[in-house]
Structure 1
Amino acid sequence: MIAFLIRFTILSFLFISFTFNVLVLLYGEPREETWRFLIDNRDFDMPLAAVFIIVAGCFSLLIALWMSVAVKLKENQTTRIVKKIAEPDFAQKLKKANGSLKKALRDANELIETQRASLQRLSSEKVETNDAIVQERLLAERQRLARELHDSVSQQLFAASMLLSALTEQEQEALAQKQLVQVEKIVQQAQLEMRALLLHLRPIALHNKSLSEGLEDLIVELQEKVYFNIDYQIEDMELSKAEEDHLFRIAQEALSNTLRHAKATEVELLLIARDQLAILRIQDNGLGFNIDGDKTSSYGLRNIAERAVEIGCTYKIVSVPNEGTIVEVKVPLAKEGQTDD
């Protein structure tokens, strides 16, 4: 709005200045006897000078509106193109752009595609050849699991044992029944904690299984042990070894966080291919959390983010307190006839 008013003011000043200069050329310096006609002559019941000013204002308004609309359309077009620059099919959509902007965005798109391909290639090489880093990660993971087992499961079992010890000394049946319920809840939570931690002990690699096979085995195993329902839809698709391994670990991390923190009753896992994208989504109806303030799941979320970046894909984590959490990862699929180097 401010830009429009500035354009209108400048254009009005220019039109009035131009009209004044023309009158000076035609009638000389402003004198009452030569310029009196601007007041005496009346069109549309207005002095001729007022008509000139109104006409200049109308022209200024129309041109200012046209300029504002043109700038806004150009901004919107640029915004749409820049937002789509990271999409796999951006090269086809870029045909709508023109001029230097088209060339600049095409160069940026080629750079991004090159960087994405490099990330995927490096990830594949890392999974296949970097055994030392894998072993180092395994050791760090075991140390972390040992700490979490001590901090969570062992403390819960200790609390349960203390309650059971107190029960043996209780004579009132009602109080004993209440404490038994507490013990049951503590033991159930300890079981969920243990199962979540055991997810981390599964092999990092899929060991000659496809991603769909690995996820189905994981879900079948969990359904036999957890207290909530897991709905899933899994499709077969062509992915590199690095992409499959990282997506499998992201799914493990998300399910582990759900087991330990969400207290969900429903979990949905999707692995589908849409619009040249492989989409992995894990959604629960649990407690949710404040992404900016809650630190309980920060380690798992950081792992998910790091793995997503390593394979050159996009991810988002959406959580609403008391509503649930969604973890979604999108990986560009290789087009037909295209193979990884």
Structure 2
Amino acid sequence: MFHKLNNLRFQIVRTQFQTIYFSLLVIACVLFFTYAILSPDWLSLESIFFSLLLISLFMTPIAIYVSFHYAGHVKERMDGISVLISQLSKGRYGARIVDKEYKETGDEIHHIANDLNGLADKMQSQVKSLQRMADEKNDFAQEAHKVATMEERQRLARDLHDAVSQQLFALTMMSQATVKLLNKDPEKAMHQMKEISQMALQAQTEMRALLLHLRPVHLSGESLQTGIAKLVEELKQRCSINFDLKLDDSLRLLKGTEEQLFRMVQEVLSNILRHAQAKSVSIKREESISLYIRDDGIGFNVNEKMENQASYGLKTLKERTEELGGSFIIRSKEGEGTYSNIRIPL
């Protein structure tokens, strides 16, 4: 009930009554002043009260009618503005206000209606632009996925050719030569057998690293810690590296961030399998989001590796951390192992 009394129509009615009764008050003051000071014969107290009562009875219904009639027009126009705003909030950007009756007068409400119609036009145009950009982005994403898939296939094919394929070819040639030396020079044949064993181990390590790249690079709904733990368990079964894993489930990240971190850890472990010849690897988390991966392998010259155009893995790690607003730090020295730090701000 009180809420209805505060709407626009009743506010206009109240304003009209306030005007009428203020005018009556002014008229009454003038009449009483005239009666008290001048005391004319035609003016009496009875005539003053009768006049005020007559004016009140006559003006009250007129004020009510005029107020409701005018307030109805104003409320109708304001309701149109309210409906338009409601439609825009629901995403119906084709809605418009038709205010033809006051087009020529051009009052404030008409200007507001025109401004809202202009705003609706701009929002509709922006929505069309966003939808067009979304379609273009989807097309670009599909093309980028195709290109990335082709690049990854080419890289794996190149790695197979440069590493595993050449090692297998060398193993074939050495094994054939060793067979011929068994009777002629057993000592030299034994030395070559040891080399064959070492080359086979290296080829096996390269193949494991390539298989790690072919492993699914998503967490399948698991947490980052669980995904890394499962990855390490798989690697323990395939190689003789001793892993020291120190992670906890206390930190919860956005899924996209966890996916990126998981891919980066996978890339670092792949590099360790292929190049480090490490016996132990340590993975731990410190501070907020700071992953440390350390191995005791043969190490390398970081500057030369980063300048090498074929250093695809390290550049990818750097780019992925920068996409998350973080930093990737790698330190290594020949003969002293490698230290990698992936730091992402919360």
- Calculate the TM-score normalised by the size of structure 2: 0.56
Q: Does 1:206 align with 2:219?
A: yes
Which residue, 176, 186, 201 being the options, matches 1:165? 176
Equivalent pairs, count: 204
Question: What is the aligned counterpart of 1:298 among 294, 308, 311?
Answer: 311
1:219-298 aligned within 5 A? 219-236=232-249, 237-270=251-284, 272=285, 274=287, 277-294=288-305, 295=308, 298=311
Q: Secondary structure at the match of 2:238?
A: coil
Amino acid at match of 1:314: S
Q: Which runs of 4+ in 1 moved over 3 A?
A: 129-136, 294-297
* Residues 101-155 of structure 1: per-residue CA shift (max 9 Å, x gap): xxxxxxxxxxxxxxxxxxxxxxxxx9xx956534432331122101110111010
Instruction: Kindly provide the CA deviation profile for residues 302-324 of structure 1, in whole angstroms up to 9, marking residues without a partner as x.
Output: 01101101111122111111111
Instruction: Quote how far apart the aligned CAs of 1:227 are.
Output: 2.4
2:329 to 305, 312, 316: 316
Aligned to 1:332: 345
Larger relative helix fraction: 2
Superposed displacement of residue 327, structure 1: 0.9
- Cα 1:212–1:132, aligned 2, differ >3 Å: closer, same or farther? farther
- Taking only the aligned residue pairs, the percentage that are identical comes to 42
- 1:148 to 2:159 alignment: yes
The structural deviation recorded for 1:245 is 1.1
User: 1:297: how far off?
Assistant: 7.3
Q: Which amino acid is the alignment partner of residue 205 of structure 1?
A: H
Cα-to-partner distance string for 1:176-221 (whole Å, 9 max, x where unaligned): 1111100000000001001111111122322222211111111000
The 3 A distance-change label for structure 1 pair 284 and 247 is: same
Unpaired segments ≥5 residues, structure 1: 1-125, 334-341
Distance 2:150 2:223 in 1: 26
Per the alignment, residue 218 of structure 1 pairs with 231
**Structure 1: which amino acid aligns with 2:152?**
E
SS at match of 1:205: coil
SS at 1:312 equivalent: coil
Does structure 2 conserve the Cα–Cα contact (< 8 Å) formed by 1:215 and 1:248? yes
2: CA distance between counterparts of 1:131 and 1:282? 33
How far apart, in 1, do the equivalents of 2:334 and 2:310 lie?
A: 13
Separation of aligned partners in 1, 2:286 and 2:333: 26
Q: Is the 8 A contact 1:235 1:273 kept in 2?
A: no
- Tell me the distance in 2 between the aligned counterparts of 1:322 and 1:273: 26
SS in 1 for 2:344: strand
**One-letter code of the match for 1:173?**
P
Amino acid at match of 2:268: A
Residue 212 to residue 138, structure 1, CA distance change in 2 (3 Å): farther
- Closer, same or farther in 2 for the Cα pair 1:213/1:138, shift >3 Å? farther
Displacement of 1:293 in angstroms is: 1.8
Q: Give secondary structure in 2 for the equivalent of 1:224.
A: helix
Determine which structure has more spread, i.e. the larger CA radius of gyration.
2
Sort the Cα spacing of 1:324 and 1:296 in 2 relative to 1 into closer, same or farther, 3 A.
Answer: farther
The structure-2 alpha-carbon separation of the partners of 1:305 and 1:220, relative to structure 1 and needing over 3 Å to count, comes to same
User: What letter is aligned with 2:209?
Assistant: A
Question: Alpha carbons of 1:233 and 1:132: their partners in 2 closer, same or farther (altered >3 Å)?
Answer: farther
What TM-score do you get using the length of structure 1 for normalisation?
0.56
Greater RCO between the two (CA within 8 Å, min separation 6)? 1
Question: Using the alignment, how far apart are the partners of 1:145 and 1:286 within structure 2?
Answer: 23
**What SS does structure 2 have at the residue aligned with 1:292?**
helix
State the 1:273 CA deviation.
5.0
Structure 2 residue runs without a partner (length 5+): 1-136
SS of 2:170's equivalent in the other structure is helix
**Aligned residue number for residue 3 of structure 2:** none
Distance (Å, rounded) in 2 between the aligned partners of 1:321 and 1:201: 29
